[in-house]
Amino acid sequence: MRRLASTLALAFCLGTAQAEIVNVDSAELARLQAEGIPIVDIRTAGEWAESGIVPGAHLLTFFDERGQAEPEAFLARLKAIAGPDKPVAVICRSGNRTRIVSRFLSEQAGYATVYNAKGGMRDWQASRQSVVDATTAASTCAQASHC
C-alpha cells in the first residue's frame, strides 16, 4: 500500500511537471493575445521591418541571420516578458523556428504552456489579421546578448 501511494504521488508530480505545446492558428493566436497572453516574435530585425509585426508583440530574436542562437540570453530576456509559470505564444515567419523554440522552452527551460503560431506571420497575414510597423512593438531585442 505504501509503495502504491509513493508511485501515485510520483506519477502525479511527473504529470503536472510536463509541459504543453499547443499549435494555434492566427484566429486562436489573436484570441490568446486578447486574453493577455504575450506574443513573442522571434524573427530577425530585417524580417520585422519587411513584413511588419502582430500589434503588441514583443520582438526577441532567437536565431540571428546566420542561424546562430543565444539561448541563455534569450531566456533571460523572455523571463522579463513571461516567466516559465506563465503561458507565452511564439511566432516566426512560417512556424518552423517557433516549433524548435517551443520545444526548447517546454523541454529545457521549464515553460508550462507554450503556444506555437503554426503558420507564423504568413498565416497571420493570409487571414487578414492586422499588422503594424515594428517600431510600435511592446519591447524589442534584435540580439539578446546586447539588449
Give tens-digit pLDDT for 34-52.
999 999 999 999 999 999 9
18 pLDDT tier (thresholds 50, 70, 90): low
Helix ranges (DSSP H) in the chain: 2-17, 26-34, 45-51, 71-81, 96-107, 120-126
| Range 106-138 burial, b when 16+ CB lie within 10 A, else e | beebebbbbbbbbbbbebbbeeebeeeebeebe
pTM equals 0.85
146 pLDDT tier (thresholds 50, 70, 90): confident
Average pLDDT, the chain: 88
Cβ proximity of 82 and 103 under 8 Å: no
Instruction: Please give the Cα distance from 109 to 104 (Å, whole number).
Output: 6
For the four alpha carbons of 36, 145, 131 and 106, in that order, the dihedral sign comes to negative
Phi, psi angle pair for 26, to nearest 5°: -65, -40
Cβ proximity of 133 and 39 under 8 Å: no
Tell me which amino acid residue 62 is: F
Q: Which residues contact 20 (CB under 8 A, 6 or more apart)?
A: 106, 112, 113, 114
Cβ proximity of 110 and 104 under 8 Å: no
pLDDT at 143 exceeding the cut of 90: no
pLDDT at 8 exceeding the cut of 50: no
Q: What is the mean pLDDT of residues 77-103?
A: 97
User: Grid coordinates representing 9?
Assistant: 504521488
Class of the domain covering 19-146: alpha beta
pLDDT of residue 2: 36
